[in-house]
Amino acid sequence: MRAILDVLMLVLNLYQWVIIIGALFSWLYAFNVVNPRNRVVAMIGDALYRLTEPVLRPIRQIMPNLGGLDLSPVVVLLLIFLIQNVILRYVYPYVF
């Protein structure tokens, strides 16, 4: 059981970084810092979009419209921190 929790914590940590990198990449793309016509940039952007959009889309539908401000990555990160905290404080100590 401990190994499953360790793998779950690792996956949550990796997904945190994917969310952060996706948000930074979207800012770089929006402000034309990276060239969107470059194949490598387009592939990275597509991969990040495919990894993050299934989780971010339902949160965007629930949250109110704030204009151009997208707070859904922050909400996902807070949920991940909450899940990790619950696992570390309540589930992990009681696993034999």
Rounding to the nearest 10 degrees, give the CA dihedral for residues 79, 81, 86, 89.
-170
pLDDT at residue 85 in the model: 96
The predicted structure's pLDDT at residue 3: 92
Q: CA 66, 17, 81 angle in degrees (round to 5)?
A: 70
pLDDT in tens, 8-64: 999 999 999 999 999 999 999 999 999 989 999 999 999 999 999 999 999 999 999
- Give the other-Cβ count within 10 Å of 23's Cβ: 19
Number of domains in the chain: 1
CB contact at 8 A, 31 and 25: no
Structural domain range at position 83: 2-94
pLDDT at residue number 28: 95
pTM beyond 0.75: the answer is yes
Q: Where are the alpha helices (DSSP H) in the chain?
A: 2-30, 39-62, 72-86
Q: How far apart are CA 5 and CA 51, in angstroms?
A: 22
Residue 73 pLDDT:
96
* Cα 10 to the center of its chain, rounded Å: 13
Over 80: is that where the pLDDT of 96 sits?
Answer: no
